[in-house]
Amino acid sequence: MKRINAFAAVLPALFFTLTVGAQTPKDIKYEFTEASDLTLAGKIFPDTPNPYARIDTVRFKGFTKTENSQVRMSSGISVAFRTNSTTISVKATYGYKQYASHVGGYASRGFDLYIKRDGKWVWAAAGCGPIDREDGYNTVLIKNMDGGMKECLLYLPLFSEEYSVQIGVQAGSVIEKSENPFRHRVAIFGSSFTHGTSTSRPGMTYPAQFCRNTGIQLLSLGCSGNCKMQPYFADALAQATDIDAFIFDSFSNPTIDEIKERLFPFIERLQAAHPGKPLIFQHTIYRERRNFDLATAKSESDRIKAVDVLMAEAVKKYKDVYYVTTTNATSPKHDTSVDGTHPGDYGYSLWAESIRKPILKILRKYGIR
């Protein structure tokens, strides 16, 4: 009994030592490169003063306090680079951070690394620093790799604002820019679903999965709870440059009255600024809370019926407007949701796959392949 108790007493300390050792190997010296000096993918506005923000909130006005914080988050942005280092780490300096019960640490403030193997992106590692001392903490994402050149893609946090993101490699190793691994510039404006709520890590949002699956670059402007076709968002999107197409997850947040009031002016504002560009609207997903919550089932059903009628009219009234109704994040077992509203990783994988063929078919009409 005494031996067991003694072992139990040292076990926590042993576990802590092993965990910290895995995070910060003392036998490796790291050299750091600012991520913005490499290749940033997924940015709708490439010239923001803070390179990790999605919109310049000094230039564009009208956002609420929450929206102002959200558009400065780095959701949807990734860093493309090449390195022959056997280890890769990251350290960041944060601004605003949002905490929520249905968004884990890796997704909200962590980093997600993919490395290309045999022409395909393969998940390599994810991580974040301790919650009480994240700023400047060197989080080792992976070590013990071979010394060959590797093409890497690092996704930035979904629900945090960063002032600095530095990628660490072993001293003496090469780290350099790589070409943007994705083609074209397709903007996507959406709700918490597009923002990535309830994913386990940043690379599992449905826009990120769509990019890796198709090679098409989506410029993600997901704003949790705040994609309501607001006129000031339309004004910002109207001023985005070199956009090949637009995709919208715009029917998840607004009320029926807001949709009726804003849909057609939203379309007209964007078509005036981007004539001839396809505007692709997605059908909202089935929320699993509808399974037994009768009030939610009715309100969601009423909204979907109203949207179906309005979009049928919009497709007839406006050229280059499309409505994709295959959107799905539900399995036959109805077990893909985290909280009754937001899917988990599996649900978002289903979503990315459900829209792949219809959206690619539309994009091909405009030479976007």
* Tens-binned pLDDT, residue by residue, of the chain (369 aa): 444 444 344 444 433 333 333 445 567 999 999 999 999 999 999 999 999 999 999 999 999 999 999 999 999 999 999 999 999 999 999 999 888 878 888 999 999 999 999 999 999 999 999 887 889 999 999 999 999 999 999 999 999 999 999 999 999 999 999 999 999 999 999 999 999 999 999 999 999 999 999 999 999 999 999 999 999 999 999 999 999 999 999 999 999 999 999 999 999 999 999 999 999 999 999 999 999 999 999 999 999 999 999 999 999 999 999 999 999 999 998 999 999 999 999 999 999 999 999 999 999 999 999
Contact 89, 141 (CB under 8 A): yes
At CA 211, angle to CA 254 and CA 59, rounded to 5?
55
At CA 146, angle to CA 144 and CA 152, rounded to 5?
95
CA distances to 182, 183, 202, 218, 228 from 70, rounded to whole Å, are: 24, 26, 15, 18, 14
What is the sign, positive or negative, of the torsion defined by CA atoms of 129, 133, 134, 137?
A: negative
pLDDT of residue 26: 66
What single string gives the DSSP state of each residue in 283-298?
PPPPPGGGGT-HHHHH
pLDDT of residue 7: 38
Contact 285, 330 (CB under 8 A): yes
Please choose, from the candidates 164, 187, 119, 173, the residue with its C-alpha nearest in 3D space to the C-alpha of residue 143.
173
**Most distant CA pair in the chain, distance:** 81
Neighbours of 25 (CB within 10 A): 17
CA distances to 163, 264, 276 from 45, rounded to whole Å, are: 17, 25, 20
Residue 150 tokens read as 């590797």
pLDDT of residue 22: 43
- Within 8 A by CB and 6+ apart from 228, the residues are 250, 253, 254, 258, 262
Burial (CB count within 10 angstroms: exposed 0-12, middle 13-18, buried 19+), residue 95: middle
Residues making up the chain, counted from first to last: 369
> How far, in Å, CA of 7 to CA of 177, rounded?
49
> How far, in Å, CA of 212 to CA of 209, rounded?
5
Burial (CB count within 10 angstroms: exposed 0-12, middle 13-18, buried 19+), residue 273: middle
> How far, in Å, CA of 346 to CA of 330, rounded?
9
Please choose, from the candidates 276, 286, 267, 206, the residue with its C-alpha nearest in 3D space to the C-alpha of residue 243.
276
Catalogue all structural domains in the chain, each as residue range(s) with its CATH number: 30-177 (2.60.120.260), 183-364 (3.40.50.1110)
